[in-house]
Amino acid sequence: MVKLSFMGGCHRVGGNAVLVKSDQANLLLEYGVKPGTPPDFPGHVRAKDVDGIVIGHAHLDHSGGVPLFYLSEKKPYFATRATSELTKILVKDMIKLNSYYLPFEYLELDKMQECRNDIGYGQEVKMKDIEFSLMDAGHIPGSGMVDISVNGKKILYTSDFNTIPTRICNNARLPKKKYDAVIIESTYAMHEHPERKQLEEEFLREIKAINNNGGKVLIPAFAVGRSHEMISILHAHRFEGYVLLDGMARAVNEVMLSDPDAVKTPQTYSKSMAGIHEIRGWRDRRQALRKADVIVAPSGMLQGGTAMFYMEKLALGSENGVFLVSFQVPGTGGARLLETGLFPIREKEEKVAAKVKHFDFSSHSGKTPLQQFLRGLKGKPDVYVVHGEEESCDFLAEWVRDELDMKGVAPNQGEEFTV
């Protein structure tokens, strides 16, 4: 008997968590948070009821709650080396910013590190009657989909995945196995992404137009993956302007450069970083801004981070640009800016004069690639749709039922299904 217990990321983006229960063991697939004040955790899972945890990738909506399992227990967790290193950086930063609201501290993060098991793609792990391995998910450096075998049943957990290659990641491939159940993300189940080459060209054109008019472009981007991808795109198009990279870039960079599995082409990547000015502190930030043509800074949704400082300096100048390049969760500063053109500057809601644009550089599969992926799966698996806004989860589950004639469910938090 195998059961899937959906603990989080149900009908929403944030706090992914699924518990796989077999006769002998319980394997927890991720335990993320929904960032915010306070951060929101998935349903409660007792640490002593868990035999091990797998983290698909480092984003906090997949990894941020894992330290909870180290308050009184020491459970092994499994991830690629890059995921473990990046998770450490991101969770540390979350504790720094939110410690008042969190039920754990640096101590739990340290204990978690003692229990880490780095696994490469394709490396089999056996935990009592459950076997699992990771496959490249193409989402961010180190990201993996989890392939699970238990009691003769085969389960695929996609975490976040992308079937289109990007400048820094290889694409996720369609697995050849027959599955009994698939748990899939649906961030962009209702949305097609533009063709990447054209998007990159338009992006460069718009940046140059602003620079040529004496303006600066702020690119709010998440510190892991997205900012480095933006730098790689500028490099690939031989952008010659002065580029600032802010945030946890340096620490993240070290991980990427020290782990050949983390980025697709390490040499090109390190070349792309060579001409970039990495911010070293507040004084440097103020000085470097004067020279900058392009500033890449977190957070990607304009929810805190040093992008707020740059917004204050640039948003009211009509010669400047603010180019959003990530998914903007409804309610975030970035989403509100796109909808209303307004942004709080020095605690006052202001009309932003800079050119605001959204470039759809996604690291998630879009509508057609998601459908092609599901269509290509062998074995007519039951499909469980998570990690999307309410309508996206329901839309993809319905599509599975109508188009593929398979079981398609968008589970609610707390629901349990037998495979």
Interface with Zn ion (CB under 5 A): 59, 61, 160
What value, to the nearest 5°, has the Cα angle with vertex 270 and ends 265 and 272? 95
- Residue 224 beta carbon to Zn ion: minimum distance, rounded to whole angstroms: 9
Identity of the residue, 133 or 187, whose beta carbon is nearer to Zn ion in the bound complex: 187
Q: Do 18 and 31 contact (CB within 8 A), yes or no? A: no
- Residue 200 beta carbon to Zn ion: minimum distance, rounded to whole angstroms: 21
Identity of the residue, 59 or 235, whose beta carbon is nearer to Zn ion in the bound complex: 59
Identity of the residue, 59 or 88, whose beta carbon is nearer to Zn ion in the bound complex: 59
How many Å from the N-terminal Cα to the C-terminal Cα in the chain?
7
Cα-Cα-Cα-Cα dihedral of 280, 106, 42, 150, to 10°? Answer: 100
- Residue 221 beta carbon to Zn ion: minimum distance, rounded to whole angstroms: 13
Closest by CA to 310, choosing from 295, 328, 325, 331, is 295
- Residue 48 beta carbon to Zn ion: minimum distance, rounded to whole angstroms: 27
- Residue 186 beta carbon to Zn ion: minimum distance, rounded to whole angstroms: 11
Residues in the chain: 419
Q: Do 223 and 327 contact (CB within 8 A), yes or no? A: no
Identity of the residue, 75 or 139, whose beta carbon is nearer to Zn ion in the bound complex: 139
Identity of the residue, 354 or 386, whose beta carbon is nearer to Zn ion in the bound complex: 386
- Residue 59 beta carbon to Zn ion: minimum distance, rounded to whole angstroms: 4
Identity of the residue, 207 or 329, whose beta carbon is nearer to Zn ion in the bound complex: 329
Identity of the residue, 136 or 160, whose beta carbon is nearer to Zn ion in the bound complex: 160
**Alpha carbon distance 310, 322 (integer Å):** 10
Identity of the residue, 320 or 392, whose beta carbon is nearer to Zn ion in the bound complex: 392
Q: How many CA atoms lie within 13 A of 112 on its CB side?
A: 29
Neighbours of 257 (CB within 10 A): 14
- Residue 317 beta carbon to Zn ion: minimum distance, rounded to whole angstroms: 33
- Sign of the C-alpha dihedral, residues 115, 94, 298, 333? positive
Residues 6+ apart with CB under 8 A from 334: 220, 300, 301, 302, 303, 324, 326, 328
- Residue 250 beta carbon to Zn ion: minimum distance, rounded to whole angstroms: 21
**Alpha carbon distance 295, 173 (integer Å):** 33
Q: Do 119 and 78 contact (CB within 8 A), yes or no? A: yes
